Amino acid sequence: MIYKVHVEFSKEFLEINNDEIKIGIKTNPIKGQANKDIIKKIAKHLKISTSFVQIKSGHRSSEKIIEISE
């Protein structure tokens, strides 16, 4: 499944509505650490392995496209 993801910084939350995810993280976007935390948070929320969550586009943007495979 493909999701559009909007990231906000300095808040902790996660909302899923249909094919859109709004996520808040406190991690600074340095050396991909924020992307790793986004993947971990989504996987934990959906109770799946992080290997099923992949950022398809938007690695350096607050607007991302994420694919979740099962």
The secondary structure of 37-65 as a DSSP string is HHHHHHHHHHT--GGGEEEEE-TTSSEEE
CA-wise closest residue to 32 among 60, 64, 13, 6: 60
Q: Looking at the domain that runs over 2-68, which CATH code has it been given?
A: 3.30.1200.10
Q: What is the pLDDT of residue 15?
A: 96
Domain spans in the chain, listed from the N-terminal domain onward: 2-68
pLDDT per residue of the chain (70 residues) written in tens, 0 to 9: 999 999 999 899 999 999 999 999 998 888 999 999 999 999 999 999 999 999 999 999 999 999 999 7
Q: What is the pLDDT of residue 40?
A: 96
Write down the pTM of the prediction. 0.91
Per-residue confidence (pLDDT) for residue 70, from 0 to 100: 75
